[in-house]
Every structure is written in structure tokens, then in C-alpha cells.
């Protein structure tokens, strides 16, 4: 499960804060605005388009610029990510609205097939779209924790 936290920007957020936010998140309830998850199967299904989104890697000093979501680690999105995040997740939401109630992707073998619930996924995508819109004002970060 991928976790996404919409958090307020503060003047005291340094490299250490971003490296340990997830571990210490219970100490930061005052800056966590909202939270959602993205199922691994959905993430894998849409992954190729996620690499188009500008991001930063908070696991490294200085939070170097990056692209996409860090599948097994941390990713940070800000106002520079907002437009791409919103557009890409909106496109997937709109596409899934036209799909069956259970979306399946055939893999190399039957055991590898993945599926997920359309309506539940649309709810999650709408929440991420809302987070993305809030990023554009420059007052928030979207903090992603990979699997």
C-alpha cells in the first residue's frame, strides 16, 4: 500500500524532518491535513504515467529534484508537481469511470493477474486530485511513502 500525506509547509522542515516524518508522524498530527492510500495494484497499473510528475527525494540531503514516485521509498511533491499530478490522476479517474466494476490487467500468467475495484479506486484518485489542487498554492507538500 502506498501512503500519501498532505502536510502543511513550515519554516522548520529540514532534511531530517523529511527523512523521519513517516517514522515520527504521530508527533506531527498538527501539520497533517489529510491522508489517503493507493493500492499497489492501482499503482502498478498506472506507473508508467507517474514518472512524468516532477518530485523531490526527501531521503537524500537537499531533497534533490527527481521525477515520479519512489516505489519503495519516500517522495515529496510540491507546487511544481501540482499541475502534472492533477492532470494525470484526473485522466486515470476519467478513464476508470468507463471501465467495469472490477478492473483487471492480464499479466504473464494467471497467478500474476492484478485487479482492483473501480469505484473504490476512483474515490482514492479523487482524493489525490484534491490534494494536488491544494499544492498549487505553495502552502503544502504531498509526502508519499512507498511500499
Query: Would you list the domain boundaries of the chain?
Result: 2-145
Residues 39, 45: Cα–Cα separation, whole Å: 10
Residues 86, 94: Cα–Cα separation, whole Å: 12
pLDDT digits (tens, 9 = 90+) for 55-105: 999 988 888 899 999 999 999 999 999 999 999 999 999 999 999 999 988
Burial string for 32-53 (b: 16+ CB within 10 Å, else e) reads eeeebebbebbbebbeeebeeb
Angle at Cα 72 formed by Cα 10 and Cα 91, nearest 5°? 75
β-partners of residue 66 are 55
Q: What is the mean pLDDT of residues 4-32?
A: 94
Amino acid at each position: 500500500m502506498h501512503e500519501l500525506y498532505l502536510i502543511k509547509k513550515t519554516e522548520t522542515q529540514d532534511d531530517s524532518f523529511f527523512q523521519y516524518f513517516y517514522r515520527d508522524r504521530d508527533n506531527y498530527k498538527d501539520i497533517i491535513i489529510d491522508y489517503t492510500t493507493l493500492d499497489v495494484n492501482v499503482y502498478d497499473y498506472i506507473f508508467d504515467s507517474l514518472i512524468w510528475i516532477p518530485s523531490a527525494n526527501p531521503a537524500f540531503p537537499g531533497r534533490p529534484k527527481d521525477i515520479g514516485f519512489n516505489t519503495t521509498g519516500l517522495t515529496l511533491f510540491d507546487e511544481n508537481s501540482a499541475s502534472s499530478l492533477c492532470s494525470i490522476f484526473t485522466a486515470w479517474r476519467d478513464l476508470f469511470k468507463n471501465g467495469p466494476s472490477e478492473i483487471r490487467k492480464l499479466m504473464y500468467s494467471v497467478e500474476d493477474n492484478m485487479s482492483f475495484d473501480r469505484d473504490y479506486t476512483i474515490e482514492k484518485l479523487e482524493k489525490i486530485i484534491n490534494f494536488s489542487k491544494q499544492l498549487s498554492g505553495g502552502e503544502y507538500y504531498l509526502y508519499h511513502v512507498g511500499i
